[in-house]
Structure 1
Amino acid sequence: MTTSRKQLHLAAHFPGVNNTTVWQDPRSQSQIDFSSFVHLARTAERGLFDFFFLAEGLRLREHKGRIHDLDVVGRPESLTVLNALAAVTERLGLAATVNATFNEPYELARRLATLDHLSDGRAAWNVVTSSDAFTGENFRRGGYLDHADRYTRAAEFVATARELWDSWSEDGTPRPFAHSGQHFDIRGEFTVPRSPQGHPVVIQAGDSPAGRDFAASAADVIFTRHGTLEAGRAFYADVKGRLAAHGRTHDSLKIMPGVTFVLGDTAAEAQEKAHHIRRQQVSPQNALLTAEQIWGVDLSHLDPDGPLPGFDPEPDPKLTQGRTRLGDPQEIADRWRALSEAKGLSLRETVIEATGRQSFIGTPETVAAEMDAFVTQDAADGFILVPHLTPGGLDDFVDRVVPLLQERGAFRTEYEGGTLRSHLGLPRPVARPVWKG
């Protein structure tokens, strides 16, 4: 499809061990069985999505010394799953979240290049970092990395991986490599020939100034979250504005927020469904657990339908292990109290409203129009959809919203190329000369 109109990109996030997923819904199925991954991936490919996106978890999260409920059935390794999905999909990009703190460049570059070969050029790597000593206990160097060093290691990790991918020439000739830096000092010969994309697509998730700089310097896609058009436009302008300093063009980085959606035949029906979903996502128990992360103490004696705690937070970093901190506890508690008092909300109702992530709620026509507006007004280049059901949560969107986006001329009607880079409109990197020994 040839058009000067700005096109919208779409990706699908597998709804696994996160608090967006509604597990008590009778339509929910396994987050481990291969059939669940196949269903969502094939639905995304039927909808002509750019890629399928898997999260990662290197340790089962804990709360008050017990495994978190959402982790009790386990967390499979993402690249293994995607290698299997490469055999049952044809065009869909396959994106794995892999930690740059607890892996090594040679091994990971090899695994990603292998996926790129097996999938005929559809591999992507979502680069994440960690300075979490709790997670690090699963590894030989647990807890060794200072928080301030996580992005410096990640940047060097990505640069080293690119050197490895470039160590085979375009004509299929292996060349020795060598890298000596702050975090890695390696040399030798890479075992995997140059893959169809040259480099797998690099995705980065982060919103801090360091994360934005890292994305502007090294990523092809940035996975972020911004709930309003204004916030999205500010983030978009900021990150795109950083590209020139790294010698990059405006279109060399795609900004794709993670979003949720709720569809209804009418606006009122969609809002009613959204309210029901939020109450399923934040059960009475879940509301108390969320509040405990803020207040830092056991709150099981409180009534979730009663008021918020009347005392100030007492932060305890060991209460919840392996989960991202929500922010400054006192600031959050003050904000929640103001919200609760202004609207007369209970503890559970406050958590529901304060932590809501539902992004697009309405009829298919409304959702298609709002998504198109985000893209045409430069608040995003597209979206990574996070359904609330596993594995059928994407079905309605593909059946009801995608055709409307196509009618608007905002989304492709067929895949024009076979690689993920072609879907995203990104060039294939040319192999650069590397050190020769």
Structure 2
Amino acid sequence: MTVRRRRMHLAAHFPGVNSTTVWADPRSRSQIEFSSFEHLARTAERGLFDFFFLAEGLRLREHKGRIHDLDVVGRPESLTVLNALAGVTEHLGLAATVNATFNEPYELARRLATLDHLSGGRAAWNVVTSSDAFTGENFRRGGFLDRADRYTRAAEFIEVARELWDSGDSDGVFRPFAHRGQHFDIAGEFGVPRSPQGHPVVIQAGDSDEGREFAAATADVVFTRHGTLEAGRSFYADVKRRLARYGRTADDLKIMPGVTVVLGDTAAEAQERAAGIRRQQVSPQNAILALEQVWGADLSSYDPDGPLPDFDPVPDSGISQGRTRRGDTVAIAEKWRALSREKGLSIRQTVIEASARQSFIGTPEAVAAELEEFVTRDAADGFILVPHLTLGGLDEFVDRVVPLLQERGAFRTEYRGATLRSHLGLSDPAGRG
């Protein structure tokens, strides 16, 4: 079998609102103090990563009318944090998740162009959409879009932003812009000179057919959750195949799955550490919470160490609001029951087994080899690491795995360009839009 040898790309995701983060660990630190963001960003830059990635939360999730246990009270606005990080980093790309449903093109294009100037060409925008009326209550015009409209608005949003970024030059000479479309009808002058990258890098996440097509048409990077080699190869081939219809090549779009890594001096030690992390991530209380999201009912009387409910879920019960478990809950429940029966698992054990997050577990040498295999076998162009600890969760990977990747010739040994586009090997956007 012939494999292509390519250098991988690496990025870091700030851990936060998800079941990956271990809140109870004594080493866990603040989600809002600048020192937390600074430490992870500096670590990522020490590891020569391409970019640092912040998520966005526009409303605190709720479960049974109370703040969700895995949410955090206090989520700083991403672009504000990244503007501050631009002053304490030199090379690292700075990626903000910003919702295309609840923002407007002129304002966001201006903020992203500003970050690109302040950082010397390191800005990126992770485009997300929403059809969530619960989140939309925080915004005007009824606050939300039908699911059928969210990608059409996002596509037009990106189109308008690129028109704005292209309307000025680096000398501060601007051409008036005018856009008349389904979702936006604006005209005027942009007012921010063309930024070092021309266009900030656009990142997208979405696994539906509509999401894959959107990525092929508009994105520079895809953030995916396909964690196995075969699933990654299938997704990679499908999305890359779609690029040609938009006049793009395979190198114009980087596919980077979000992954977790657990290391040990031996394979057995790594597996033991991974199991311990999963037990921390899924406490008895959080096991019941996860079960309630699937079954759509109050299950607080159930024993986490006991059996799963013997009744079917209540679809669309509204027990959780915001970003919660989606999909066919009846099918999920049946899958969990089958898993529980097959392995003799309790509620907590089933949730741990069914929602396992560790993607790569092993010695540093084994993990480095497996990461490289994903890239050489066209399952990924690189990876976005999602550590389980806020503050120090990335250090061990940078100290123990990155040097091995460099020895294998699989990862850079220095930054060779000044912009995020140069780190990612993306072409100049001149004329694109």
Q: Identify the TM-score tier after normalising by the shorter chain.
A: over 0.9
Kindly indicate whether the alpha-carbon contact (under 8 Å) linking 2:60 and 2:73 is maintained by their aligned counterparts in 1: no
* Structure 1 partner of 2:203: 203
Report the residue type matching 2:52 in the other structure: F
Q: 1:36 aligns to what SS in structure 2? A: helix
Structure 1 residues 86-101: aligned runs within 5 Å:
86-101=86-101
* Structure 2 partner of 1:379: 379
Matched, 1:216 2:195: no
Distance (Å, rounded) in 2 between the aligned partners of 1:412 and 1:84: 26
Report the residue type matching 1:372 in the other structure: E
* Structure 2 partner of 1:278: 278
Structure 1 residues 142-291: aligned runs within 5 Å:
142-169=142-169, 171-291=171-291
* Cα pair distance change 1:72/1:416, threshold 3 Å: closer
Distance (Å, rounded) in 2 between the aligned partners of 1:387 and 1:204: 20
* Structure 1 partner of 2:54: 54
Q: Deviations over 1:287-310 (max 9, x none)?
A: 111111110010000001100111
Matched, 1:14 2:14: yes
Kindly indicate whether the alpha-carbon contact (under 8 Å) linking 2:170 and 2:195 is maintained by their aligned counterparts in 1: no
Report the residue type matching 1:352 in the other structure: I
Distance (Å, rounded) in 2 between the aligned partners of 1:369 and 1:167: 46
- The alpha carbon displacement at 1:431 in A equals 4.7
Matched, 1:310 2:314: no
Structure 1 residues 110-129: aligned runs within 5 Å:
110-129=110-129
Structure 1 residues 60-71: aligned runs within 5 Å:
60-71=60-71
Distance (Å, rounded) in 1 between the aligned partners of 2:290 and 2:315: 13
Report the residue type matching 1:50 in the other structure: D
* Structure 2 partner of 1:339: 339
Distance (Å, rounded) in 2 between the aligned partners of 1:231 and 1:172: 47
- The alpha carbon displacement at 1:363 in A equals 0.3
Q: 1:383 aligns to what SS in structure 2? A: strand
Report the residue type matching 1:101 in the other structure: T
Kindly indicate whether the alpha-carbon contact (under 8 Å) linking 2:172 and 2:192 is maintained by their aligned counterparts in 1: no
Distance (Å, rounded) in 1 between the aligned partners of 2:432 and 2:352: 51
- The alpha carbon displacement at 1:90 in A equals 0.3
Report the residue type matching 1:95 in the other structure: A
Q: Deviations over 1:37-65 (max 9, x none)?
A: 00000000000000000000000110000
Distance (Å, rounded) in 1 between the aligned partners of 2:154 and 2:344: 45
Structure 1 residues 65-84: aligned runs within 5 Å:
65-84=65-84
Q: 2:401 aligns to what SS in structure 1? A: helix
Distance (Å, rounded) in 2 between the aligned partners of 1:326 and 1:109: 31
- The alpha carbon displacement at 1:70 in A equals 3.0
* Structure 1 partner of 2:388: 388
Report the residue type matching 1:35 in the other structure: S
- The alpha carbon displacement at 1:323 in A equals 1.2
**How well do the aligned residues superpose, as a CA RMSD in angstroms?**
1.1
Distance (Å, rounded) in 1 between the aligned partners of 2:360 and 2:184: 43
Q: Deviations over 1:102-151 (max 9, x none)?
A: 00000000000000000000000000000100000000123441111111
Matched, 1:354 2:349: no
Distance (Å, rounded) in 2 between the aligned partners of 1:135 and 1:141: 13
Distance (Å, rounded) in 1 between the aligned partners of 2:316 and 2:419: 47
Distance (Å, rounded) in 1 between the aligned partners of 2:154 and 2:291: 32
Kindly indicate whether the alpha-carbon contact (under 8 Å) linking 1:170 and 1:431 is maintained by their aligned counterparts in 2: no
Structure 1 residues 409-420: aligned runs within 5 Å:
409-420=409-420
- The alpha carbon displacement at 1:429 in A equals 1.1
- The alpha carbon displacement at 1:75 in A equals 1.0
Kindly indicate whether the alpha-carbon contact (under 8 Å) linking 1:60 and 1:74 is maintained by their aligned counterparts in 2: no
The TM-score with structure 1 as length reference comes to: 0.97
- The alpha carbon displacement at 1:16 in A equals 1.4
- The alpha carbon displacement at 1:430 in A equals 1.1
- The alpha carbon displacement at 1:172 in A equals 3.7
* Structure 1 partner of 2:24: 24
Q: 1:106 aligns to what SS in structure 2? A: helix
Distance (Å, rounded) in 2 between the aligned partners of 1:299 and 1:335: 19
Report the residue type matching 2:269 in the other structure: E
Q: Deviations over 1:227-266 (max 9, x none)?
A: 2100000000000000001110110000000000100000
Report the residue type matching 1:270 in the other structure: A
Distance (Å, rounded) in 2 between the aligned partners of 1:227 and 1:221: 17
Report the residue type matching 2:299 in the other structure: L
Kindly indicate whether the alpha-carbon contact (under 8 Å) linking 2:69 and 2:286 is maintained by their aligned counterparts in 1: no
Distance (Å, rounded) in 2 between the aligned partners of 1:84 and 1:72: 21
- The alpha carbon displacement at 1:173 in A equals 1.5
- The alpha carbon displacement at 1:327 in A equals 1.3
* Structure 2 partner of 1:406: 406
Report the residue type matching 2:376 in the other structure: T
- The alpha carbon displacement at 1:357 in A equals 1.4
Distance (Å, rounded) in 2 between the aligned partners of 1:70 and 1:80: 24
* Structure 1 partner of 2:325: 325
Kindly indicate whether the alpha-carbon contact (under 8 Å) linking 1:174 and 1:189 is maintained by their aligned counterparts in 2: yes
Unaligned runs of 5+ in 1: none
* Cα pair distance change 1:150/1:420, threshold 3 Å: same
Report the residue type matching 2:64 in the other structure: K
Kindly indicate whether the alpha-carbon contact (under 8 Å) linking 1:131 and 1:143 is maintained by their aligned counterparts in 2: no
Distance (Å, rounded) in 2 between the aligned partners of 1:246 and 1:334: 41
Distance (Å, rounded) in 1 between the aligned partners of 2:325 and 2:153: 21
Q: Deviations over 1:305-329 (max 9, x none)?
A: 1001110001234211111433100
Q: Deviations over 1:66-93 (max 9, x none)?
A: 0112334311110000000000000000
Q: 2:70 aligns to what SS in structure 1? A: helix
Q: 1:199 aligns to what SS in structure 2? A: coil
Q: Deviations over 1:367-420 (max 9, x none)?
A: 000000000000000000000001100000000000000000000000000100
